[in-house]
Amino acid sequence: MKTFITRKLISFSLLLVLVLSSFAVSGCSKKAAKEVSIAVFVPGVIAGSPTYEMLAAGSVEAVEEYNKRTNQNVKIDVIEAGTNQAEWSSKLTAVTAGHKYSLIVSSNSSLPAIIEPLTEQFPEQKYLVLDAYLENNRNVATVNYNQREQGYLTGYAAGLATTADPSVFPYANSAKKIALVAAQEYPVMNEIILPAFEEGAKAADSGVSVEFRIVGNWYDASKSADIARSLYEEGVDVILPISGGANQGVISAAQSLNFYVTWFDNNGYDKAPGLVISSMALEQKKLAKEMVSAYLEDKLEFGNAKTVGIKDGYITFVKDDPVYRQNIPAAFIDQLSAVEADIKAGKLKLPAANK
Ligand code: RBF
């Protein structure tokens, strides 16, 4: 009887050891072989938002090239979080808590505040955020653009156009009024982009004044068209739209009323040839591709916040476009190129205040 109980106890403890060790082994091997897979978390929708389009395209390209080169099968999913910003935090929490992705890639300056609490809750999750700034979090890498340079050059273009002689820009009036139509207010908009737009415009001509209007979201093109129309009636003849899908409303108002548009983030010349007078592009596709490739090769440093700009080639004045060259006066393009060259050469210093 005693031996029977002892034998049973022994076999039970053996089973226990086996079960426990198998847990340990599976836990270990799972960790060691934690699969590399990537999610692109789009805070908004891709359609109409060049920065998000470039983010997804660059990340996907990096994975495809890596898979081809190494004969691997790294997975990448693009997840659109939608336009309701109140849901972004819970959606990102769900994506993180699913433990499906070793890296979550995203873009925009509001993401670090959403990610920071998650890195405490899920210390194994890594994040890469472009167009954002966060220092000293060992699970997060960020790359920020010097949008003071981007805003300044755009303002300079608008300032030159609004003060131009009608023989150069036929739709320029004498009011010296320009405007920025933003989707919403946010620290980078209020503290960097808008002031830099004004700084650049006033550098071109100190008599220029800047209007600032808010659409209220990143998609309502009929609202932005109404705003653009009323600005035009107040004497504004150059508008910078930064409102994602709603930018189209400013373009259609420009086409029906005849005023000028300065474009942000990518090449916008095709949208309204002859009316879009500048495009200050972010090389976000290139940056996303480089950073995701670095991650796949285990070379991405987390805990780091980088800032890039004109000098590094991640912000560019797009000028080698035939539509642009055919429709916009060469002297204006040259003047703007000279300012860009001054920034590149360090003659004009516009350091970024990181937000
Ligand atoms: N840019 C877009 O093109 N589309 C968007 O839907 C969009 N949503 C944003 C939401 C928030 C909360 C913030 C802070 C920025 C957003 N951006 C969006 C702006 C983008 O990050 C960047 O500031 C501008 O495109 C100017 O480069």
pLDDT digits (tens, 9 = 90+) for 267-286: 999 999 999 999 999 999 99
Write down the number of H helices and E strands in the chain. 12, 12
With a 6 Å cutoff on the Cβ, whether 188 touches ligand 1 is yes
Ligand 1 centroid to Cα of residue 333, in Å, is 27
Give the closest residue to 121 by CA, choosing from 143, 88, 99.
Answer: 99
Q: Is 275 helix (H, G, I), strand (E, B) or coil?
A: coil
Q: What does the pLDDT look like over 71-91, one tens digit per residue?
A: 999 999 999 999 999 999 999
Per-residue confidence (pLDDT) for residue 34, from 0 to 100 = 65
Per-residue confidence (pLDDT) for residue 352, from 0 to 100 = 84
Q: What is the pTM of this model?
A: 0.91
Per-residue confidence (pLDDT) for residue 353, from 0 to 100 = 79
Per-residue confidence (pLDDT) for residue 33, from 0 to 100 = 44
Domain limits, the chain:
36-145+285-308, 147-281+319-345
3-state helix, strand, coil in the chain (%, to 5): 50, 20, 30
With a 6 Å cutoff on the Cβ, whether 263 touches ligand 1 is no
Same fold for the domain at 36-145+285-308 and the one at 147-281+319-345? yes
User: Best of 45, 46, 49 to mutate for ligand 1, by most ligand atoms within 8 A of CB?
Assistant: 49
With a 6 Å cutoff on the Cβ, whether 242 touches ligand 1 is yes
User: Best of 46, 115, 218, 220 to mutate for ligand 1, by most ligand atoms within 8 A of CB?
Assistant: 218
Ligand 1 centroid to Cα of residue 344, in Å, is 26
With a 6 Å cutoff on the Cβ, whether 244 touches ligand 1 is yes
Ligand 1 centroid to Cα of residue 21, in Å, is 49
Hey, what CATH class is 147-281+319-345 in? Answer: alpha beta
- CB–CB of 216/223 below 8 Å? yes
Per-residue confidence (pLDDT) for residue 337, from 0 to 100 = 98
Strand order in the sheet with 315-317: 209-214, 177-182, 236-242, 260-265, 276-282, 315-317
Amino acid at 71: N
* CATH 1.10.540.10 describes domain 36-145+285-308: no
Residues of the chain scoring pLDDT < 70: 1-34, 355
With a 6 Å cutoff on the Cβ, whether 108 touches ligand 1 is yes
Ligand 1 atom 18: the closest Cα is on which residue?
A: 244
Amino acid at 146: N
Ligand 1 atom 16: the closest Cα is on which residue?
A: 108
Ligand 1 centroid to Cα of residue 183, in Å, is 8
